[in-house]
Amino acid sequence: MNLLPRNTSLFDFDNLFDNFLAPTTTQNQGDVPFAPRVDVSEKKDRYEISAELPGVDKKDIDVTLDNGILTISAESRYEDKEEKEGRVIRQERRYGKFVRSFNLGTDVKDQDIKAEFKDGLLKLNVPRLEEKQAVSKRIEIH
């Protein structure tokens, strides 16, 4: 099982300086997905994955397992509120789609994964299966 994120790249400028270059005002950022912050812990019999999903309703979260790829996706909707007094000086919260994927391997089944969402934190418990050792056999040449 390989729990390395599938969307990691060498030049991840979005997180390079922890959003150092974030715009000073933000409107709806559309359909541009970004990855929520995730903690992955290894336990004796399982992996624990915790993902921050601030401002997201439980009904807007989708966790799928497809061909060994665990994908967490959710959507945070823009709050369109009218300012009666004053104006918004700075708005840093992100709106739009959250996406994060992990390669679990094909041996993990969806019914074995336990999910819980509370206070903006999604917690997943994924069983830790024994890795199959690669078998090397010599092929005789005739």
Please give the pLDDT value at position 106.
81
The DSSP H or E segment spanning 74 is: strand 69-76
Please give the pLDDT value at position 27.
40
Domains in the chain: boundaries = 1-6+32-77+91-129
- Architecture of the CATH domain 1-6+32-77+91-129: Sandwich (2.60)
Q: Full-prediction pTM beyond 0.85?
A: no
Distance of alpha carbon 114 from alpha carbon 126, whole angstroms: 7
> What's the chain's Rg over C-alpha atoms?
20
Please give the pLDDT value at position 134.
72
Please give the pLDDT value at position 32.
47
Residues of the chain with pLDDT under 50: 8-14, 16-32
Distance of alpha carbon 71 from alpha carbon 100, whole angstroms: 6
**DSSP character for 134?**
P
Distance of alpha carbon 137 from alpha carbon 123, whole angstroms: 41
